[in-house]
Chains A and B, each alone.
Chain A
């Protein structure tokens, strides 16, 4: 194990996969000379050259489609879309081509594509640059969507995504890039479609993913001091969704809250709450609560931004309400 930042774990994984497989190449805006908007690709152009690390013009639909076409030919493109907000320019290619070509062709064509893209608010980037649109993609059969919360998973899930023969969207998060954690040395491939129990507990299950899972874990540790034993489930993968791990946890704890950075209506929390009521109905001692972003375009001004985003205070309050409700 080595302690690395989430950013470094992503960088090292890209470098290792570029070294391992000649068919792997990187494509995106400002990933080469500029070294990436968030510096994930720093130094890789110098090491691997412009054939393997390709700067693109600003044209998300064009270069995402190019990557899908190259993947159809057997290459393994890893696209960086600067933020998930800009993926909207490419959504037709992602949803109508990447997700569907294998099925439409009757299994004759595959799309081994990775799209890395960060989401998340809290950086005062305001409404157009702070969205959490991953559920749009998680809704679509044919895509896989993973969301590492830790540096170890950043390595494990990105490696799995690159070696997978399907299109995988790897959701990163602006607020996680500088977080640190232990990362397994050498080969480390996480299993797509498996949630992780980050902390065991008896009284309540807190479900989250990406930044929300990290905050939930922090809250759970602090609640121990108050005698509340919370289990934290990190979904890690939104499609496929590991419903079994969630239900198994709630059958044990009898209570659940779901935390997400996205908007509440039609969000991941809705999916999880529906899953729990079906899979653990007889075990529930309290309604499943959802903690999600306020339903506004995220404002620029700091107090408004802070008020709109889920935080440790909101999680702590809702957990207490859910546990103390009887």
Chain B
């Protein structure tokens, strides 16, 4: 949570209330998504941002509209915070035609390139070389400048153990690319603690091998996350200096909706409740006089309403028509493309 002693008087109260609104919306959306999943309205996997609301709001607040974001498969909150319509996000989870990715990607693959959300990625770390390549494209087209765009690449704590992470950091540092990598450290890769997976559990230090500056920040503190990320993005855009950040927070629930998280001790569970960023931020805003109970209740009611509307929108959206099955597999049509359904003949011709 935000440091209870932190002075909020320098902040714009409307902006702080907006962060609270975003965090509340994400919380409400994710709780509803979990419910919809258990009611079998959502298929596949479903990974939630519960407990990471301050990190999501802080990181996206640091991004400018023309910055690019590459997310992990835990991506619902980022799409919402980037401004995607909650109805279209829910419709994607429901696998509907009006989904953010037209029902092709599902929970793990939310794409909204108009808002420079360049996708959630289902393969652990698959997005890291891509984000590095997006930064390469920005550098290809223009030099460092205070108003130049930059790329933010999210990854989980366990992802720092894969080769693509290290190859990407090396390339970004070697080529001076405008990218900020953010390790969202929720302490667990599925059920494996960071200490059991990483020989250097202070994950941001892994950037030292590439002379890449970095730091760890409390992911439950929305303002600290925002300010740290903003400074990192400014170095990326202004100096083409890549940065490796690490935010620390906790998943309130299991790895995905179906995971009961039995590997957690009672002590940890208690700490989760104590350090939950949402009530923490709410209390801080109230004790600082920025929010009163009535306004907070209003924001919470609005979030519930928005999520209910999102479910209604998703419900009303049609399933993608089967005739669109082969749409968007390729961008450039080519001769001889085979578009058979299972059991269809492979060749058109019979005897001469």
Q: Which residues of A contact B (CB under 8 A)?
A: 25, 51, 56-57, 59, 61-75, 92-93, 96-97, 101-110, 112, 141-142, 144, 164-166, 191-194, 237, 240-244, 247-248, 251-252, 274-275, 278-283
Chain B residues lying within 8 Å of A192, measured Cβ to Cβ, are 334-335
Report the separation of the CA atoms of residues A191 and B337 in the bound assembly, to the nearest whole angstrom: 12
| 17 cross-chain CB contacts under 8 A | A61-B164, A62-B171, A64-B129, A66-B130, A68-B133, A73-B137, A93-B164, A96-B123, A102-B328, A102-B329, A103-B329, A107-B102, A108-B113, A237-B336, A240-B335, A242-B336, A244-B336
Chain A residues lying within 8 Å of B109, measured Cβ to Cβ, are 104-105
The reply to whether A75 and B332 contact each other, CB–CB distance below 8 Å, is: no
Report the separation of the CA atoms of residues A109 and B117 in the bound assembly, to the nearest whole angstrom: 11
The reply to whether A74 and B137 contact each other, CB–CB distance below 8 Å, is: yes
The reply to whether B123 and A65 contact each other, CB–CB distance below 8 Å, is: no
Contact pick for B167, options A59, A144, A194, CB 8 Å: A59
The reply to whether B338 and A241 contact each other, CB–CB distance below 8 Å, is: yes
- List residues of B (317-352) whose CB comes within 8 Å of A's CBs: 327-332, 334-338, 345-352
B111 interfacial contact with A, CB 8 Å: yes
Report the separation of the CA atoms of residues A142 and B330 in the bound assembly, to the nearest whole angstrom: 6
Chain B residues lying within 8 Å of A283, measured Cβ to Cβ, are 351-352
B316 interfacial contact with A, CB 8 Å: no
Chain B residues lying within 8 Å of A109, measured Cβ to Cβ, are 111, 113, 118-119
Report the separation of the CA atoms of residues A105 and B122 in the bound assembly, to the nearest whole angstrom: 13
Report the separation of the CA atoms of residues A252 and B167 in the bound assembly, to the nearest whole angstrom: 53
The reply to whether B119 and A278 contact each other, CB–CB distance below 8 Å, is: no
- List residues of B (145-167) whose CB comes within 8 Å of A's CBs: 163-164, 167
The reply to whether B101 and A105 contact each other, CB–CB distance below 8 Å, is: yes
A152 → B minimal CB distance (Å) = 18
The reply to whether A141 and B129 contact each other, CB–CB distance below 8 Å, is: no
The reply to whether B330 and A62 contact each other, CB–CB distance below 8 Å, is: no
Chain B residues lying within 8 Å of A274, measured Cβ to Cβ, are 346
Report the separation of the CA atoms of residues A75 and B337 in the bound assembly, to the nearest whole angstrom: 25
Report the separation of the CA atoms of residues A108 and B345 in the bound assembly, to the nearest whole angstrom: 31
The reply to whether A72 and B118 contact each other, CB–CB distance below 8 Å, is: yes
The reply to whether B101 and A106 contact each other, CB–CB distance below 8 Å, is: yes
Report the separation of the CA atoms of residues A193 and B136 in the bound assembly, to the nearest whole angstrom: 32
Contact with A along B104-141 (1 / 0, CB 8 A): 11000101110000110111001011111111111010
Chain A residues lying within 8 Å of B138, measured Cβ to Cβ, are 73
Chain A residues lying within 8 Å of B136, measured Cβ to Cβ, are 66, 69-70
Chain A residues lying within 8 Å of B123, measured Cβ to Cβ, are 92, 96-97
The answer to whether A75 and B137 touch (CB under 8 A), given A92-B126, A248-B349, is yes
The reply to whether A62 and B351 contact each other, CB–CB distance below 8 Å, is: no
